Structures are given as structure tokens and as C-alpha cells.
Amino acid sequence: MTASGLREPPAAKALLILAAVAYVAIMLLLPLGAVLFEALRHGWNAWWAAVVDPDARASIRLTLIVAAISVPLNTVFGIAAAWAIAKFHFRGKSALIAFIELPFSVSPVVSGLVFVLLFGAQGWFGPWLERHDIRIIFALPGLVLATLFVTFPFVARQLIPLMSAQGRADEEAALTLGASGWQTFWRVTLPNIKFGLLYGVLLCNARAMGEFGAVSVVSGHIRGETNTMPLQVEALYNDYDFVAAFAVASLLALLALVTLALKSALEWRYGDELRARH
Amino acid sequence: MPSLARNRSSPLPGFGLSLGITILWLSLIVLIPMSAVFVKSGSQGWQTFWAAAGSPRALAAYRLSFGAAALAAAINCVFGLLVAWVLVRYRFAGRRLLSALIDLPFALPTAVAGIALTALYADTGIIGRFLEPAGLPIAYRPAGVVLALTFIGLPFVVRTVEPVLAEASSEVEEAALTLGATRLQTFSRVVLPTILPALATGFALAFARGAGEYGSVIFIAGNVPFKSEIAPLLIVTQLEEYNYAGAAAIACVMLLISFALLLLLNLLQHWQQRRMA
Amino acid sequence: MSIRVEHVSKSFSAYPALNDVSLTFNDGEFVALLGPSGSGKTTLLRILAGLEVPEEGRVRFGERDVTGDKPASRGIGFVFQHYALFGHMTVEKNIAFGLDVMPRGPRPTKRDIGRRVEQLLGLVQLPGLGKRYPSQLSGGQRQRVALARALAREPRILLLDEPFGALDAKVRRELRVALRQIHDELGLTSIFVTHDQEEAFALADRVALLNQGRIEQFAAPAEMQSGPASAFVREFLD
């Protein structure tokens, strides 16, 4: 029951809505449109040619591999962390959570820097790696490590409040009925968190595939070898090959839109299961 | 499968295993690598540290990165509040679509945002071609950095203010009405102070994100040292010159500021809790 | 100030909250709107306040037709069930609010506002608590502040929506007495909504019993007890 006097006059309301929509359209929709416009500037053929170019395809492959490695690893971690934090009492919980969320407050460039400092030519392990002819920086392992760092908290941060709100009751019930720890986890816990998990994995993946700053630092920018899609976009752009750059970018933009759509769908249908109620 | 340790507070198994994995992975991926920054930056003594972290070029870079981030966060406070208000208080066609769009900066890879913004605001771009002759050039200048950071930070204020606006009871606004306040007075004297902690939190989040932002900025900034070079770019440049200690020093400064912001954010959360009570 | 409600009807999306209700409240009367939830009593109160607009019917304060008037211009004071105090303002600022937001011309000077706040704090028996914040007060104290705030603009009509609903029994009784005293002292016309029959009968000069949007009976408590107008009234009073 909103009181009639509580509402703004219809003119003001319309103006505010218009202003908000205009702002979002200019700030968000226009850039999105620009990507598509520039990618198709020379028509679909040019777009297709850019997308199937060997270096572009290599970058797509690399992006998928990096995501395929980092996302599952951080997902397992996220589940483990949420299990420990949500289902048990112990000291230092908030400190642990703060540490887990640390990567969110670190600049992407610094996230990549830390691994260069460890494994780069002048890094802690640099000489050792050289001697054993192992390449981490400027190779796939470096990309994976940097991506692991920046996507570290996504799944954990989604699951911790969710599992905390759900409490221990279901698991304890399962135990009293004779289930083992693993059975309890697979048959009771996992189904309870499935939408939160999906949501977290979705966001983790979006970041893993789209990360730029951190991977840029550890990559070496070797086309065909160590360029993920975002890096390939940069390389093409710096070469003034704008149509190709935007073509690859359009694929990433498409990924972003799909992510947004799935994210919204999950929020609308399963909002309650996703949120923690305190 | 036997658990490695029992937690005294509950017979649930898996405590030792899960905590072990957590701490191990946390140390390997986050803690140990991060300590490398502090160790390396201090490795060559205070002199070298300050020479790098406090050099005129670095100071100019901090000014740009933090200054632009603050300005962008402030812009986002104003417009973010507008958008949050409209989303929470009004029903209109396309409201859900608008709400879904807000998270675009979270989902879109920063490099894509970077080249898209440059395409729009360069002097050949759809918007830039009007602004340039009007004396408002954006691309390749600090203004471009502010624009990019405004894009990046847009969701933060909206998402932190929305739940607070939604939960605010209408009783208080009705009370102001019965006491003779105009709608505008009700907003400025009653609603705004209530959501101030949320606004501050949104500001801090947007600011923190903007200060360290790289991908969306380096295409539209001029990247000219002392004039339009952001701090993260300076770090990359130092790395490319194999000046690890210098890069680490600057990274150290940025990290310390980030942590200070984190602390501030925590305090803001507490402020917000007290208000809600 | 007398109040006339004439054939007022109001629905909320096909749910009829009030159905052709007519009442007259006399100047200086203390009336209780009583009834179960959903009976329409709160809707009626909010229509009197101007927080809702009826679909049919008129409301008159004295000779004036206020049906379309905004709450601010009706000369009413409203007290909410959950106090609706402004959490970020001190008690003083809360009470002064109605005076602070007045347009330049009619607004009293700062000193006058300060004096009025002191006077009101005394009236509701909370002297010296001006600098506290609502979160530092008990429920009963908060409701007293809400009352003082509603009275700051010297309304002729006081409207209260289940004012003691959120308080415990002892505090309730204290506040009841205080409210009636203030009503008598200031010569207000007061209308309050409650679902508590004992409270209504103890406080009010006349009680209007509502059921499903209609008035079942509107009479003095004694009259209602000795001569219930319908089966519903009889059952409700048991």
C-alpha cells in the first residue's frame, strides 16, 4: 500500500526514469553496440575471417584451456573453504575469510606481478627453473597461476554465506541415518547448494576468460602461444587491425551477454536459494 | 573415508581435510605470492624503495590513478543512486532488463571495454567527434581515464544502495509527509541520511576497483608518463625494463592503500549495522 | 475540530477495504476504531490523514472538504505503530522536524523552535532527553517522542495507528493514561486504531467497531456492552 502522497508527481517520476535509462544506455549500451558495429564494419566475411585466423583460434583455445583448468580448481577450493567455514566453529574464521577475499582488492597488474617475482628470470625460483628448463612465466603455467589468483574468491564467496545460512541440520540428520561423510556431501550438501555453486562457477568463469591485466603481465604476448583472447584483442588493436580486434572482442562480448543472461535467470528463478538470509 | 581431524564442536566429518585444503591452496596461490611483493620491494633497502615508490613519475601516476578513481566513484554515487532509486521505487516496462544490464561491467572483459570506449570517444568516434571540436576531448587524456573508471565502477554503487533502499520502511517517509515535508525535503532530510553508509560503501568499492584498473584504461588513456600514465601501467613498464624491485615498490604502495581501503570498508559496514539497529 | 466521513469507499486491487462508511466525530472527542485485521480501520485512519485517497466519498474537517488535501495541509498529527522516528536525528531534531521544514515565512525562529521542543518534551514527560538518539531509548520513550513530534505543529486532530501495539503491558498502561491526559489538556480530537478491546473501552468516549469495511456499531463503550447492535458485535465483545 503506497500512499498516494508518497509518490513523486508523475512528471518527476517520468523524468527520473528517463534520466536513469539514458545514463545506462549511454554508459553501457553504447560501448556494447560499438563492439558489434566495429566488428561488422567490413561485413560478415571480414568478421569470419578474423575469427578463424590461426592466431585468433589459438587464443580461443588457450582461453578455454586456462579456464578449464582454473575454474574447476578454484571450485573445489571454494567448496572446501565453505565446508570448513560454514559447518564448523573455529577461531580465526573472519581472518581466513578476509584472506580469501584478498585478491578482490588487488590490482590485476599486481596479481600478475607476484608470479613474475616468484618465477620470472630474476625471481625467487628463476635460476632454479632455468636450470631445469621449466617455463612458468611466458607460458601456460604462468597464465593459469595468474588466472587462479584473480578468480580465487568467486566460488568461495558465493558458497560461504549460503552454506552458513543453511546450517548443519541437514548434514547432521544424514549422519544420524548412517551416511558417511562423503555420502552426506554428495547426496545432501551438494543438492542444497547447486544453484549457488552454479552462480559462483558462472562468475568465476566469466572472470577467468576475460582477465586481462594479470595475464598480460605473465604472458610475454607471444602470438599463437601465450595470447589469450583478451591479449589477442590488444595485440590486434596495437597493430591497428581494428576489425580483427573487434571481431575477437565481439566473441568476448557475446560471452559476457550469455553470462549476464544466465546470471539474471538464476537470480530471478532461484533468488531465495542463492541468497543468505541472516 | 576417515577424516584427518575432528572438530570439537561437531561430529561432522571432513573438518581437517577441508581446512587443510583451504589453507594449503590459500597459501600457495595467494599468501606466498603476495609476500613476494613485500620481500622484493624491501630487498634493496629503503633508499631504493623510496627512489622507486616516491619518484616524481610514480607520484604523478598515483595522482592520476587515485584521483581519477575518486572522481569516477563520485560520479557513480550520483548516477548510481539515481539508477538504484528508479529500479527500486518504480515499475516500468524494461525494468528487469535495465537491472540485468547494470552488471555488464562485471561480466565484460576489461580489454573489450577499453577498446569499445576508445572507439566511441576518440575524435573519430560517434561521440568523440562532437566532443572534440566542442573543446571536451576525452580520449588519450585523463578525462578518458575517468570515463573508463566510471564505466567499471557503475555497478558497485547501484548494487550496494539497492537493498538498503528496498528495505527502508515507508513509515518513516510517511511520517515526514504528515509533518509537512515536501517530497524533496523528505528525500534530502530523511532518505538520504539513511542510505549514506551504503553510498559510502559503494564509493569505497568503486574507488578500490578503479584505482587498480588496467585493461579498460590503457586504451583510452594517453599513457604519457607524468601526464596520463596510470600506476598499474608504470608497474608494467618497470617490469619490461627488468626493474623488478622498482615494480614491486610501486605495487607495495598500491597494496597498502588497498588494505587501508579494506579497513575503511569494514568500518563502514559496522556503521551501517548500527544505523539499521 | 469535528470530522465528517461521508460515504467513503476504498479498494485495493479488487479487495474492498472500506465500503460506504459514514461517521461523524465531534470536536474534542476521543474515538477508538476497533476491529479484527482486515476490517478497514487502518485504511479509514490513513484516509483521514491523507495517506490514502478514497475512491468514493468525502471527508470534512470542520466545514472544510479535505478529501483531496495532502497530509501536510490538513492540520493533523500522526503517530505510527512502530514510531517511525528518524534514526539519524536526535530526539530534539525529530520533534522539531515539522517546524524545521516549514517554508521561510511561517517558520518560527530557532529559539522559538527550541522552546517548543522543550515544552513538548515536558508534556510527554521526557525532560532532558533531547540530545539522545532513538536507538538509545526504550520503546515507551520512543513512542512518547513520536507523540511529541506529531504535536509540534499544534494540530487540531491527532491520529494514532495502533500506537501501543509494539509495547509491553505495563508500558502500554502508562502511555494510555499519558495520552488521555494530553488529549484533554490540549483539547484535541483524537482517533486511534486498535484491535485491543480493553484498551478501546478504557480510553475512548466512543468506539467504532468495524468489520470487513463496514461499521457494525458506533457508540459509547457502555452502550455497546449493554446493547450490541449485531451478532458480530456481541461475539467480538466476548
A4-40 pLDDT per residue, tens: 556 778 888 999 999 999 999 999 999 999 999 999 9
Q: Tens-of-pLDDT digits for all 277 residues of chain B?
A: 444 455 555 668 888 999 999 999 999 999 999 998 888 888 878 888 888 899 999 999 999 999 999 999 999 999 999 999 999 999 899 999 999 999 999 999 999 999 999 999 988 888 888 887 777 778 888 889 999 999 999 999 999 999 999 888 788 999 999 999 988 899 999 999 989 989 998 999 999 999 999 999 999 998 888 888 999 999 999 988 888 889 999 999 999 988 888 888 888 878 777 765 5
> What is the reported pLDDT for B222?
82
Nearest to B150 by CA among B216, B87, B195, B201: B216
DSSP string, C113-172: HHHHHHHHHHHTT-TT-TT--GGGS-HHHHHHHHHHHHHTT--SEEEEESTTTTS-HHHH
Same domain, B11 and B144: no
CATH of domain C1-75+155-238: 3.40.50.300
Contacts of A190 (CB under 8 A, 6+ apart): A197
Q: Are residues B213 and B76 in the same domain?
A: yes
* pLDDT at A1 (0 to 100): 38
| Claim to verify: residue B36 and residue B54 sit in the same structural domain | no
Say if residue B248 is in the same domain as residue B190.
Answer: yes
Closest CA to A103 of A15, A211, A28, A196: A211
Q: What is the mean pLDDT of residues A185-207?
A: 92
Interface ipTM above 0.85? yes
CA torsion through residues C166, C170, C173, C179, sign: negative
Q: For residue A33, what are the domain limits? A: 8-39
Higher pLDDT residue, B117 or A225?
B117
Residue B8 pLDDT: 54
The Cα–Cα gap between B186 and C44 comes to 24
From chain C, the residues in CB contact with A3 under 8 A are 46, 51-52
Inter-chain contact C76–B178, Cβ cutoff 8 Å? yes
- How far, in Å, CA of C77 to CA of C114, rounded? 19
Residues in chain C with pLDDT values less than 50: none
B16 burial class (0-12, 13-18, 19+ CB within 10 angstroms)?
middle
Q: Is residue A119 part of a domain?
A: yes
**Distance from the C135 Cα atom to the nearest Cα atom in chain B, whole angstroms:** 7
State pLDDT tens for residues A238-253.
999 999 999 999 999 9
Contact C191, C45 (CB under 8 A): yes
Number of structural domains in chain A: 2
Closest approach of B5 to chain A, Cα-based (Å): 12
Best to test chain C binding among B170, B179, B190 (most C CBs inside 10 Å): B179
Whether residue A180 is found in the same domain as residue A205:
yes
Q: Which of the four pLDDT bands, split at 50, 70 and 90, describes residue A176?
A: confident
Residues A248 and A61: beta-carbon distance below 8 Å: no
Q: Do residue B74 and residue B87 come from a single domain?
A: yes
CA dihedral over A159, B152, B155, A34, signed as positive or negative: negative
Shortest CB distance from B108 goes to which of A171, A203, A253?
Answer: A253
pLDDT of residue B3: 44
Domain locations in chain C?
1-75+155-238, 85-154
Name the percent of chain A lying above pLDDT 70: 96
Whole-angstrom distance, CA of residue C32 vs CA of residue C191: 6
- Adjacent-strand bridge partners of C18: C10
Phi, psi (deg, nearest 5) at residue C163: -65, -25
Report, as an integer, the average pLDDT of A51-62. 94
Which residues have a Cβ under 8 Å from the Cβ of B17 and sit 6 or more positions away? A80, B3, B4
Q: What is residue A275's predicted lDDT score, i.e. its pLDDT?
A: 65
Question: Are B238 and B181 spatial neighbours (Cβ–Cβ below 8 Å)?
Answer: no
C146-194 pLDDT tens trace: 999 999 999 999 999 999 988 888 999 999 999 999 999 999 999 999 9
What percent helix, strand, coil does chain B show, rounded to 5? 75, 0, 25
| Helix or strand run (H / E) with residue A95 | helix A93-100
Nearest to B172 by CA among C100, C88, A13: C88
Digit-coded pLDDT (tens) for A79-131:
999 999 999 988 889 899 989 989 988 999 999 999 999 998 888 888 888 88
- Shared domain for B127 and B211, answered yes or no, is yes
How many structural domains does chain B have?
Answer: 2
What CATH number is given to the structural domain containing B230? 1.10.3720.10
Question: Could you give the strand order of the β-sheet that contains C206-211, starting from the edge strand earlier in sequence?
Answer: C76-79, C157-161, C189-194, C30-34, C206-211, C214-219
- For residue C144, CA distances in Å to B38, B195, C78, C164, C175 come to 58, 26, 13, 10, 8
Its sign, for the CA torsion B98, B169, B82, A157, is negative
- Tell me if B154 and A28 make a contact (CB, 8 A cut-off): yes
Joined grid coordinates for residue A272: 531465495
Both A103 and A125 in one domain: the answer is: yes
B14 & B61 share domain: no
Q: Do B177 and C51 touch (CB under 8 A)?
A: yes
User: What is the rounded CA–CA span in Å between residue C86 and residue C93?
Assistant: 9
Q: Which domain holds residue B22?
A: 1-42
pLDDT above 60: residue A169: yes
**Which A positions 1-30 lie with beta carbon below 8 A of chain C?**
1, 3-6
Radius of gyration of chain C (CA): 18
Enter the C-alpha cell of residue C94: 525529530
Q: Is B104 in the same domain as B29?
A: no
Flag whether A266 is in a domain: yes
Same-domain pairing of A119 and A251: yes
Full-model pTM: 0.85
Is the CB of B90 inside 8 Å of chain A's CB atoms? yes
Nearest-Cα distance to chain A for C15, in Å, is 12
Pair (B138, B268) in one structural domain? yes
Query: Which of C48, C52, C86 to mutate to test binding with chain B, by most B CBs within 10 Å of its CB?
Result: C86
- Residues A13, A132: one domain? no
**What's the CA gap between B86 and B100, in Å, rounded?**
14
pLDDT reported for residue A258 = 96
Indicate whether B17 and B103 sit together in one domain: no
Same domain, B31 and B154: no
Q: Other C-beta atoms within 10 Å of B141: how many?
A: 18
Give dist(CA B243, CA B179) in Å, integer.
Answer: 66
Q: What is the mean pLDDT of residues A231-241?
A: 94
* A1 assigned to some structural domain: no
How far is it, in rounded angstroms, from Cα B177 to Cα B179? 5
Cα dist from A235 to A117, A197, B122, B161, C103, whole Å: 24, 35, 19, 38, 63
Within this chain, do residues B211 and B164 fall inside the same structural domain, yes or no? Answer: yes
Could you give the CA distance from residue B176 to residue B174 in angstroms, rounded to a whole number?
5
